[in-house]
Structure 1
Amino acid sequence: MSSAVVHPTAIIAEGARLGAGVRIGPYSMVGPRVVLGDNVELVSHAVVEGNTTIGEGTRIFPFASVGHQPQDLKFHGEDSRLEIGRNCTIRESVTINPGTEGGGMLTRIGDECLIMANAHVAHDAIIGNNVIMANYVGIAGHVHVGDNVIFGGTCVIHQFTRIGAHAFIGAQSMVDGDVIPYGMAVGNRATLTGLNLVGLKRRKFDREAIHRLRAAYRQIFASEGTLRERVEDAAELFRDDVLVQEVVRFISEAQDRPILLPRNGHESE
């Protein structure tokens, strides 16, 4: 703690571990089992509790509540954990809860995530890298989110739902089914509205790869046959395509929630 800078009004419990260059602002609180990596900053009035690890370079803004017990009636004080990755930004009044015995005992936030004001990440959620959650996003318990997903403001995600990598969730959406990788979902209740083509282009995906992904999307969500049959056909037709195989695998692994479908059963673009 020799190089940490702690404001005199902050309360650091005995046992907390602070990395080099940590900055603890006014009226912040750090619990006894918290580990703050190098150059973590609590701007002011932030509370970090529980069995929580914060990766280096992460900034937590005023009135955020990180690591307090889950909002789950099945939680009975088990020693669950919360892990937050490197260089995340957690804005004002965000709440993030640790895991539970019923969900693997772990909530995890990846690296380089931006969680805007008043958003909530519930127990046992697993969030990938480079995820952006706009204001008032609600991530329910046991949700899994892939890398590079963007959530528009005030959208909510049903418990046990999976959101595939590079997906985009439109503002004010209520998502109660799995969203395929590279997909875009909008609405209450949300439906699949196509592929996140803007995101794919911004991240410089190969044009031909995008064309193949679009062709596979049309086949998978066509009106003929069953979804399983169409997925099997796409798996065979695009067997050498990494992106399509990721979508196929995602659909094939569905368990707790249904796959989100287009409103009319095929591509809406």
Structure 2
Amino acid sequence: MIHPSAIISDEARLHESVQVGPFAIIEGEVEIGANTVIESHAVIKGPCRIGTDNHIFSHAVVGEVPQDLKFAGERTFLEIGDRNRIREFSTIHRGTAGGGGLTRLGSDILVMAYAHVAHDCLVGDHVILANAASLAGHVEVGEHAIFGGFAVAHQFCHIGSHAFIGGFSKVSKDVVPFVMADGARARAIGLNKEGMKRRGFSPETITLLNRCFRQLVKRQGDDLVWTEFEQAAETEPALAEMLDFIRESERGITR
């Protein structure tokens, strides 16, 4: 059902099952998949593609132009997957030409009220951004990562999968997968053991990753330690992910 007060561009393509509430605005090249709900006063701007079974709440702004002074009106995009919940007053911006032209959110994500996803961010599946959490431009967030309320990530930071960022934290370096970071200037405070248990990681895997955290994240290990973990990573994908992330970090990791 589409409320008669909603304003929908002729360029928009909405599945027949999409619901649009009062005074919502859908502007430009917007594609919205089946069973998605757009609440009252929400604003969606294209070019933008939104998948199925999403729920965009009142006053959210999705697909607005980036807050980047270099942006000159070039054609850029926003892609959003399926089954996401985008809550009140949250903002998600399109990409920039200099950043690849694409902001992308995966599926099963919860973006809480007043949270912000800036241009060119790449956000994996099952991520949670709590109230007023903010991702600056070009931030990459792995699947199952969680940001506490008012936590912020600096431009170009990478947040590994299953990481947990404490509320009000300021992240200025990469956060290794499975690690918890917290503090006004975020520091690595431990392995996200509880989150890993909830997602079915074995006690043996958690113990191994905790050793890696203590020896390689909190204090850089010597070549012998790296060799030991590299051998173990041949049969443990989670450890391989952790080691690869540390090796490939360009900003340096949060310790």
Q: Distance in 1 between matches of 2:58 and 2:247?
A: 42
What corresponds to 1:84 in structure 2? 80
1:30 match: secondary structure: strand
Superposed CA offset, 1:10-68 (max 9, x none):
00111100013100000000112000111111111000002001110101111111111
1:243 match: secondary structure: helix
2:167 match: secondary structure: coil
What corresponds to 1:134 in structure 2? 130
Which of 115, 119, 123 lines up with 2:115 in the alignment? 119
**Does 2:249 align with 1:259?**
no
Q: Distance in 2 between matches of 1:258 and 1:218?
A: 17
Shift of 1:236: 3.4
What corresponds to 1:265 in structure 2? none
* Preserved contact between residue 26 and residue 44 of structure 2 (Cα < 8 Å): yes
Q: Distance in 1 between matches of 2:241 and 2:181?
A: 18
What corresponds to 2:29 in structure 1? 33
Q: Structure 1 residues 63 and 223 mapped into 2: Cα distance closer, same or farther (>3 Å)?
A: closer
* Preserved contact between residue 188 and residue 218 of structure 2 (Cα < 8 Å): no
What stretches of structure 2 of length at least 5 have no aligned partner? none
Q: Distance in 2 between matches of 1:7 and 1:179?
A: 44
Q: Distance in 1 between matches of 2:129 and 2:2?
A: 29
Shift of 1:240: 2.3
Q: Distance in 2 between matches of 1:250 and 1:161?
A: 12
What corresponds to 1:173 in structure 2? 169
Q: Distance in 2 between matches of 1:211 and 1:47?
A: 46
**Does 2:17 align with 1:8?**
no
What corresponds to 1:250 in structure 2? 245
| Letter in structure 1 aligned against 2:213 | Y
Q: Distance in 1 between matches of 2:220 and 2:66?
A: 44
What corresponds to 1:267 in structure 2? none
What stretches of structure 1 of length at least 5 have no aligned partner? 262-269
Q: Which runs of 4+ in 1 moved over 6 A?
A: none
Superposed CA offset, 1:74-114 (max 9, x none):
11111110001101000000110010011110000110100
| Letter in structure 2 aligned against 1:259 | I
Which of 159, 164, 170 lines up with 2:160 in the alignment? 164
* Preserved contact between residue 172 and residue 186 of structure 2 (Cα < 8 Å): yes
Q: Distance in 2 between matches of 1:120 and 1:222?
A: 30
Q: Distance in 2 between matches of 1:172 and 1:99?
A: 26
Q: Distance in 2 between matches of 1:192 and 1:223?
A: 11
Q: Following superposition of structure 1 onto structure 2, how do residues 42-191 of structure 1 map, counting pairs within 5 Å?
A: 42-191=38-187
Q: Distance in 2 between matches of 1:84 and 1:98?
A: 11
Q: Structure 1 residues 98 and 224 mapped into 2: Cα distance closer, same or farther (>3 Å)?
A: closer
1:6 match: secondary structure: coil
Q: Distance in 2 between matches of 1:110 and 1:152?
A: 19
* Preserved contact between residue 215 and residue 221 of structure 2 (Cα < 8 Å): no
- Greater CA drift, 119-128 or 30-39: 30-39
* Preserved contact between residue 95 and residue 118 of structure 1 (Cα < 8 Å): yes
* Preserved contact between residue 143 and residue 157 of structure 1 (Cα < 8 Å): yes
| Letter in structure 2 aligned against 1:194 | G
Superposed CA offset, 1:187-237 (max 9, x none):
0100001110010011121111111111222221364656x7754552235
1:111 match: secondary structure: coil
**Does 2:198 align with 1:202?**
yes
Q: Following superposition of structure 1 onto structure 2, how do residues 211-222 of structure 1 map, counting pairs within 5 Å?
A: 211-221=207-217
Task: State, as a whole percentage, how many aligned pairs show the same letter.
Answer: 46
Question: Please, what is the CA RMSD of the aligned residues?
Answer: 1.5
